[in-house]
Amino acid sequence: MATVRTRRAREALTGLAFAAPAVAVFAVFMFWPLIQVFWISLQQTRGFGLAKWVGLQNYQEILSDKIFWTALWNTALYTAISVPLCLVAGLAAALLLNKRMPARGLIRAIYYLPAVISGVSSALIGAWLFNEDIGLVNRILDVVGLGPVPWQSEGVPALLSLVAISLWIGLGFNMVVYLAALQGIPREVFEAARCDGASRWATLRRITIPQLGPTTFFLIVIGIINSFQVFDIVYVMTGGGPGNSTTMLVTYAYSAGFEQRQQGYASAIGVVLYLIVLVMTIVQWRVNKRRDVA
Amino acid sequence: MTRYRLAFAITGAVAMLFPVYWMIVTAISSSADMRGPGLHLWPTSVRWENLTDPLSKFPYGMWAVNSVFIAVVAVVLTVVINLMAGYAFAKLRFPGRNVLFILIISTLMVPVQVVMVPQFHLVVDFGLIGSDWGVIVPRLAEAFGLFMARQFMMAIPDELIEAAQCDGSSQWRIFRTVVLPLCRPLIAVLVIFTFMWRWNEFAWPLIVLKDPESYTLQVGLLFLKNQYGQDYGSLMAMSLLSMIPMIIVFALFQRHFVEGMARSGIK
């Protein structure tokens, strides 16, 4: 008995020792900041001066802050356009590249390539392609007789240029996940459909897409969570402009915290963002659970 | 049908590659050519000023050194921490194991911007503001890598570990000589992804690094954008240079990228 107990105790000690470095960095740099952010959000910090306790005042300010609501609307609009586009394009690419063809591996790699390019570089390419005066997109639109489009001086085109870049970056990930999911659909299902004389379109609508349901749901949730955090391409490509028409929740939080140095207010925005993401995660979790039960 | 399919696939590939192609064209053309009248989709003359001019005016070399240092140190530390923790959470029983694991995994969905202010305060308190270590240390808490390590190690048979235990090996020895050799594919994925995340990271170094000499390449590129304004030749050249390590890693380990991503998607 004693040996079992000492062995258990020794295993527990080794386990703790192996986990200790990770637990330490998470405790200091994740758990503690996650508690502290609530605390800081109840303070007023302007400039480098001492923080002043203001209770819920930052949250009250948020409610009446026009820029905050603009940022929330922009983030929602960006998400509502970008996520479905990436989803459909990713599915189309996956269906296209699921069949055997020459150089399939290379073509897949090319579709995925933008995902490994940094947000800053992608944003610089975007800023250049969509430059209002000398960018290639407007030059081509000009030749075709459709341009020029005010990509920098008007809000909606600016947002759409961000969506275009997000599609370029995000397509590959959606494609790869869909490709993996397509491998998981049993062959017999398709064979049965063919025996019944189902057309390609019917097979796609009645079999493939429903079978991919869980994957689609996963990609939508991941897509929404990622879109709500879009920072690099917005900050570098449009800087939130023109005016505040492409300001997103996170770029607004950043500029409040580190440009205007109102860190209490920035933390309050962070808490709101946290709650939004939390709600979406809980929704995903509950839907998954219901499906597992069913 | 197959021919149409291939044609579609290639058209898509050309469209996806085009922005990078256009970057290269811009980088080697004179800015007068790019602004001038007439639409050219290929370079009309080759110039190297876009490359040499910014390299002589700005501390690009320093930025590259900083980026390499941060990425390499972060990869080594993160991967070691995640492998050790992955082993503990997958194979060793200790009090609080499940609670700790759930807490760590729940940080997966926390946006960086939620904790940036408290993390910034911590980095200030530790005296790490403006230094490479201020960029590296807070990012060692990498839940995704830890999750991947734990999932992978769950699949290692207990019998292997128990057999080594009967031979009287210590856990540390078992970890090094039995577990790690089985984890090569995992280590490859962890190294590649951690490198990509740290190399491409922008928001956090932007907050921590103050002095232009201490910038990483990504922060430096933003600095250059503000310097060059509408002159995109140099900007594209410098951006291309900054992408080279990532492109090489991608070309070499493409399969791991795709598999790692797919695995994260299936869960």
Q: Is residue A60 part of a domain?
A: no
CA–centroid distance for B10 within its chain: 28
Which residues, in sequence order, are CB contacts of A122 under 8 Å at separation 6+? A114, A165, A168, A169, A232, A233
**What's the distance, Cα to Cα, between the start and end of chain A in Å?**
45
Rounded Cα distance, A239 and A126, in Å: 13
Of B39, B88, B232, the CB nearest to A18: B88
> pLDDT tens for residues A282-292?
887 888 777 76
Peptide bond into B157 cis (omega under 30): no
Residue B190 CA: distances (Å) to CA of B2, B26, B42, B187, B257:
37, 34, 39, 5, 10
Please tell me whether residues A71 and A8 are part of one structural domain. Answer: no
Which of the four pLDDT bands, split at 50, 70 and 90, describes residue A48?
low
Q: Which of B113, B238, B243 to mutate to test the interface with A (most CBs of A within 10 A)?
A: B113
Question: Domains in chain B and their CATH numbers?
Answer: 1-47 (no CATH), 59-266 (1.10.3720.10)
Binary contact (B116, A254; C-beta < 8 A):
yes
Binary contact (A131, B117; C-beta < 8 A):
no
Spatial CA neighbour of B225 closest among A41, A245, A120: A120
Q: Is residue A56 part of a domain?
A: no
Rounded Cα distance, B21 and B14, in Å: 9
> What does the pLDDT read at residue B266?
45
Residues in chain B: 267
> What does the pLDDT read at residue B223?
96
> What does the pLDDT read at residue B267?
40
Q: Is residue A47 part of a domain?
A: no
Please tell me whether residues A85 and A169 are part of one structural domain. Answer: yes
> What does the pLDDT read at residue B262?
67
Which of the four pLDDT bands, split at 50, 70 and 90, describes residue A294?
low
Q: Which of A5, A8, A16, A18 to mutate to test the interface with B (most CBs of B within 10 A)?
A: A18
For chain B, state the CA radius of gyration.
23
Quote the Cα angle for B26-B28-B30, to 5°: 75
Q: Is residue A45 part of a domain?
A: no
Residue A207, class by beta-carbon neighbours within 10 Å (0-12 exposed, 13-18 middle, 19+ buried)? middle
Please tell me whether residues A115 and A255 are part of one structural domain. Answer: yes
| Other Cβ atoms closer than 10 A to A122 | 25
Interface A:B, Cβ pairs < 8 A = 278
Of B16, B115, B263, the CB nearest to A114: B16
- B165/A273: higher pLDDT: A273
Indicate the range of A85-99, A123-137, B157-171 predicted with least confidence: B157-171
Binary contact (B39, A15; C-beta < 8 A):
no
Binary contact (A96, B221; C-beta < 8 A):
no
Binary contact (A93, B100; C-beta < 8 A):
no
Binary contact (B116, A215; C-beta < 8 A):
no
Please tell me whether residues A13 and A118 are part of one structural domain. Answer: no
Chain A residues closer than 8 Å to B34 by CB: 134
Of B111, B141, B235, the CB nearest to A229: B111
Chain A residues closer than 8 Å to B161 by CB: none
Rounded Cα distance, A76 and B124, in Å: 34
Please give the ipTM for the structure prediction: 0.92
Spatial CA neighbour of B116 closest among A16, A40, A165: A40
> What does the pLDDT read at residue B229?
84
Please tell me whether residues A278 and A133 are part of one structural domain. Answer: yes
> Could you tell me the residue range of the domain that residue A33 belongs to?
2-40
Residue B145, class by beta-carbon neighbours within 10 Å (0-12 exposed, 13-18 middle, 19+ buried)? buried
Binary contact (A125, B10; C-beta < 8 A):
no
Amino acid found at B132: D
Residue A126 CA: distances (Å) to CA of A97, A173, B122:
26, 19, 35
Q: Is residue A48 part of a domain?
A: no
Look over chain A and give the mean of its residue pLDDT values, rounded to a whole number.
91
Of B110, B138, B171, the CB nearest to A14: B171
Are the CB atoms for B214 and B221 separated by under 8 Å? no
Q: Which two tokens stand for residue A270?
A: 């962070």
Please tell me whether residues A34 and A106 are part of one structural domain. Answer: no
Chain B residues closer than 8 Å to A134 by CB: 34-35, 230
Nearest CA in chain A to B174: A14
Q: How many domains does chain A have?
A: 2
The phi, psi pair for A53, rounded to 5°, reads: -75, 125
Chain A residues closer than 8 Å to B116 by CB: 253-254, 257-258, 266, 270
Amino acid found at A105: G
Q: Is residue A242 part of a domain?
A: yes
> pLDDT tens for residues B81-92?
999 999 999 999
Nearest CA in chain A to B107: A30
Nearest CA in chain A to B210: A258
Distance to chain B for A160, nearest Cα, Å: 17
Binary contact (A30, B121; C-beta < 8 A):
no
- The CB-based long-range contact list for B112-115 (8 Å cut-off, 24+ gap) reads B112/A229, B112/A231, B112/B203, B112/B204, B113/A229, B113/A231, B113/A249, B113/A250, B113/A253, B113/A254, B113/A270, B113/A273, B113/B203, B114/A34, B114/A37, B114/A270, B114/A271, B114/A273, B114/A274, B115/A30, B115/A33, B115/A34, B115/A37, B115/A270
pLDDT reading at A136 higher than 70: yes
Rounded Cα distance, B134 and B204, in Å: 9
**Does B22 lie at the interface with A, CB-CB under 8 angstroms?**
yes
Amino acid found at B121: H
Quote the Cα angle for B61-B62-B63, to 5°: 90
Distance to chain A for B107, nearest Cα, Å: 7
> What does the pLDDT read at residue B99?
95
Q: Which two tokens stand for residue A155?
A: 């809000």
Residue A82 belongs to a domain with what CATH number? Answer: 1.10.3720.10
Please tell me whether residues A134 and A23 are part of one structural domain. Answer: no
The percent of residues above 70 in pLDDT, for chain A, comes to: 97
Are the CB atoms for B122 and A45 separated by under 8 Å? no
Q: Which of B16, B117, B263 to mutate to test the interface with A (most CBs of A within 10 A)?
A: B117
Q: Is B82 helix (H, G, I), strand (E, B) or coil?
A: helix
Please tell me whether residues A82 and A202 are part of one structural domain. Answer: yes
Binary contact (B117, A266; C-beta < 8 A):
yes
Strand partners, A262: A46
Task: Name the DSSP letter for residue B3.
Answer: H
Amino acid found at A249: L
Q: Which of A7, A8, A11, A26 to mutate to test the interface with B (most CBs of B within 10 A)?
A: A26
Distance to chain A for B157, nearest Cα, Å: 17
B48: number of CA atoms within 13 Å, CB side?
A: 3
Are the CB atoms for B241 and B149 separated by under 8 Å? no
Please tell me whether residues A36 and A93 are part of one structural domain. Answer: no
The helix-helix angle for B2-28 and A104-112 (nearest 10°) equals 50
Rounded Cα distance, B11 and B22, in Å: 16
> What does the pLDDT read at residue A271?
95
Q: Which of A43, A91, A117, A217 to mutate to test the interface with B (most CBs of B within 10 A)?
A: A117
> What does the pLDDT read at residue B109?
81
Distance to chain B for A151, nearest Cα, Å: 14
Q: Is residue A46 part of a domain?
A: no
Q: Is residue A58 part of a domain?
A: no
The stretches in chain B having pLDDT less than 50 are 266-267
Are the CB atoms for B227 and B143 separated by under 8 Å? no
CA–centroid distance for A174 within its chain: 12
Please tell me whether residues A75 and A192 are part of one structural domain. Answer: yes
**Does B102 lie at the interface with A, CB-CB under 8 angstroms?**
no
Nearest CA in chain A to B77: A21
Nearest CA in chain B to A177: B262
Chain B segment 151-190 residues within 8 A of A by beta carbon are: 171-172, 175
Please tell me whether residues A34 and A164 are part of one structural domain. Answer: no
| Tokens 């910090």 found at | A45
> pLDDT tens for residues A177-223?
999 899 888 888 888 888 888 888 888 888 899 999 888 988 998 89
Please tell me whether residues A157 and A33 are part of one structural domain. Answer: no
Strand partners, A43: A53
